[in-house]
């Protein structure tokens, strides 16, 4: 298909315009004379289409692309992509504005564009301002002087930060403790049944454990996981995480050590050994293999050969976890699971544990504290008081109970095995509340862990109400002595017990 949009050309006899092959700041080369600029920058695929800018005259588009070349050479590929999107939005606004032309950018065009933006998107104009000012300083024609002067008078609001965190948005904000525990339980269950790839399982846990960006996980190599033997015979597992969003620095130019808990570290270490073996004979140095490789390789050369892009990795995470259909107790619907929500949850939990802005900025790999203040300033009361009425109201939405209600012990999977009976000694050691259907050893704390376990088979006449009362009493006590974080530890169990009580009532009401 032939493009109708004007492009840079060697025939264009306008001094100072840039065209031909350009080397971006990431050392990637692309053809700036093309309608579409395509290149891969580390773990990001860049594709900038200039055909939608057809409203602009040939000369104006040449100036715009020449300015884009400057940003490509001096800024990150991600920033270049953002500029392209914002300038396209601006030019499209010009195209539908009465009296505007594609031959000049006037102060009227800027005023009209600002009036078209709502408060949440006013920051778009700030990005356009940066681009147009550079365009003007580079000496390319097409921008009226009064348009540049106007920018000095305008007060443009910046990108609103932390709204989803401050409002605990149920779609894009941090997960509640109950939601996060539900994800973890569903993740462990599906993996134990061999229903999820090992890479997806470990990646999900790393997102929860470290709160980093998709690009950082995409840039990981197998050599980044380090096992450090200790004198007592144990092992410390360290993950060297590439730093992101550092101006004029490659993604792997600086690594930051993150210690992993042994349960995760041991699995990641064993997994990395298997990935390394797969790349023997494929890469000259198998330790350069990506920790989370592309399934169908498209990038097979360069320092990031066989690496996924950050977009591919984030999309894969979302697809694998949303397939679990984990329910939210706030909406009664399946959770919207995205990488950024894990990051926001990590920051929120750090603030709840009493960490200040500097520590949170360090944990989230920020260069400063301007984007982390929201976590400290609005520590959400996720662990608000939960009484019996609230528990019964939230229980059907959370769906925390994973087992199967049975009428009595005779219906249990291990009904003839007395050791399968589950008793809460704090209530009544002679009255079981149900049976365990699992045949292997379980080291979890019964009955607290049982109500959210898929192997639990509560009995219809079990003392579930008494269990709920004990849990609520303990929660109230911890809220006053240990704080909201400790008090919320068993919130998902509370909802699971409440759901069992409701199921028992429904069973009796049904006359079964």
For Cα atoms 52, 44, 66, give the angle at the middle one, nearest 5 degrees: 45
Distance CA 267, CA 488 (A): 28
CATH fourth-level superfamily of 163-377:
Intergrase catalytic core (1.10.443.10)
| Average pLDDT of the residues in 412-437 | 86
Place of tokens 């270490």: 269
Confidence of residue 14 (pLDDT cuts 50, 70, 90): very low
Task: Convert the pLDDT of each residue in 144-203 to its tens digit.
Answer: 999 999 998 998 888 777 888 888 899 999 999 999 999 999 999 999 999 999 999 999
Task: Convert the pLDDT of each residue in 22-31 to its tens digit.
Answer: 888 777 888 9
Place of tokens 């009955």: 447
CATH 1.10.443.10 domain position(s) in the chain: 163-377
Query: Quick one: tokens of 192?
Result: 């134990």
Q: Where are the beta strands (DSSP E) in 135-277?
A: 225-229, 235-242, 255-260
pLDDT at 370 over 80: no
Cβ partners under 8 Å of residue 156, min gap 6: 114, 122, 123, 125, 126, 129
Query: Quick one: tokens of 308?
Result: 């996924």
Q: What is the pLDDT of residue 8?
A: 43
Task: Convert the pLDDT of each residue in 68-89 to its tens digit.
Answer: 999 999 988 889 999 999 999 9
Task: Convert the pLDDT of each residue in 26-68 to its tens digit.
Answer: 778 889 989 999 988 889 999 999 999 999 999 999 999 999 9
Confidence of residue 2 (pLDDT cuts 50, 70, 90): very low
Distance CA 351, CA 345 (A): 10
Task: Convert the pLDDT of each residue in 315-340 to its tens digit.
Answer: 999 999 999 999 999 999 999 999 99
pLDDT at 415 over 50: yes
C-alpha gyration radius of the chain: 29
* Number of Cβ within a 10 Å radius of residue 42: 26
Closest Cα to residue 494, out of 458, 469, 511?
A: 469
| Average pLDDT of the residues in 256-268 | 95
| Average pLDDT of the residues in 426-449 | 81
Q: What is the pLDDT of residue 246?
A: 60
pLDDT at 359 over 70: yes
Task: Convert the pLDDT of each residue in 112-149 to its tens digit.
Answer: 999 999 988 999 999 999 999 999 999 999 999 999 99
Confidence of residue 314 (pLDDT cuts 50, 70, 90): very high
pLDDT at 11 over 50: no
Closest Cα to residue 81, out of 1, 25, 6?
A: 25
pLDDT at 9 over 50: no
Task: Convert the pLDDT of each residue in 380-395 to its tens digit.
Answer: 554 556 889 999 999 9
> Is the C-alpha dihedral spanning 370, 371, 373, 374 positive or negative?
positive
pLDDT at 444 over 90: no
Side-chain half-sphere exposure of 263, counting CA atoms within 13 A: 5
């Amino acid at each position: 298909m032939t493009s109708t949009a004007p492009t840079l050309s060697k025939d264009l006899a306008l001094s100072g315009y840039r065209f031909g092959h350009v080397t971006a700041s990431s050392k990637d080369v692309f053809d700036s004379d093309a309608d579409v600029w395509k290149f891969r920058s580390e773990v990001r695929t860049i594709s900038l289409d200039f055909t939608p800018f057809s409203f602009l005259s040939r000369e104006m588009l040449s100036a715009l692309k020449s300015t884009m070349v400057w940003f490509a050479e001096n800024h990150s590929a991600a920033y270049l992509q953002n500029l392209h999107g914002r300038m396209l939005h601006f030019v499209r606004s010009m195209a539908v504005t009465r009296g505007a032309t594609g031959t000049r950018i006037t102060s009227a065009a800027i005023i009209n564009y600002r009036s078209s933006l709502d408060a949440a998107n006013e920051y778009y104009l700030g990005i356009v301002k940066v681009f147009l000012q550079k365009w003007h300083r580079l000496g390319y024609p097409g921008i009226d002087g009064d348009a540049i002067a106007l920018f000095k008078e305008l007060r443009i609001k910046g990108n609103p930060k932390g709204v989803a965190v401050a409002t605990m948005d149920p779609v894009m904000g941090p997960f509640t403790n109950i939601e996060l525990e539900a994800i973890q339980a569903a993740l462990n269950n599906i993996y134990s049944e061999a229903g999820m790839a090992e890479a997806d399982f470990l990646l999900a846990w790393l997102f929860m454990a470290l709160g980093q960006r998709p690009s950082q996980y995409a840039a990981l190599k197998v050599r980044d996981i380090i096992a450090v033997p200790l004198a007592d015979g144990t092992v410390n597992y360290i993950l060297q995480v590439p730093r992101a969003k550092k101006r004029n620095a490659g993604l792997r130019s600086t690594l930051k050590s993150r210690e992993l808990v042994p349960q995760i570290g041991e699995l990641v270490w064993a997994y990395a050994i298997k990935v390394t073996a797969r790349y023997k004979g494929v890469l000259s140095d198998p330790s350069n293999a990506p920790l989370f490789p592309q399934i169908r390789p498209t990038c097979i050369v360069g320092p990031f050969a066989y690496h996924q892009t950050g977009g591919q990795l984030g999309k894969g995470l979302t697809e694998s976890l949303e397939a679990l259909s984990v329910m939210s107790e706030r909406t009664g619907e399946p959770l919207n699971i995205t990488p950024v929500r894990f990051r926001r949850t990590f920051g929120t939990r750090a603030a709840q544990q009493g960490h200040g802005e500097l520590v949170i900025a360090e944990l989230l790999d920020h260069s400063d504290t301007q984007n982390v203040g929201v976590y400290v300033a609005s520590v959400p009361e996720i662990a608000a008081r939960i009484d019996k009425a609230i528990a019964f109201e939230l229980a059907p939405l959370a769906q925390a109970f994973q087992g199967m209600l049975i009428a009595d012990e005779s219906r249990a999977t291990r009904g003839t095995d007395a050791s399968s009976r589950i008793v809460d000694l704090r209530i009544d050691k002679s009255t079981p509340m149900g049976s365990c259907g699992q045949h292997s050893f379980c080291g979890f704390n019964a009955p607290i862990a049982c109500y959210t376990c898929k192997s639990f088979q509560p009995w219809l006449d079990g003392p579930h109400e008494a269990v709920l009362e004990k849990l609520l009493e303990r929660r109230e006590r911890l809220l006053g002595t240990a704080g909201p974080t400790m008090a919320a530890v068993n919130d998902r169990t509370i909802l699971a017990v409440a759901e069992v009580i409701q199921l028992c009532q429904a069973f009796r009401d049904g006359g079964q």
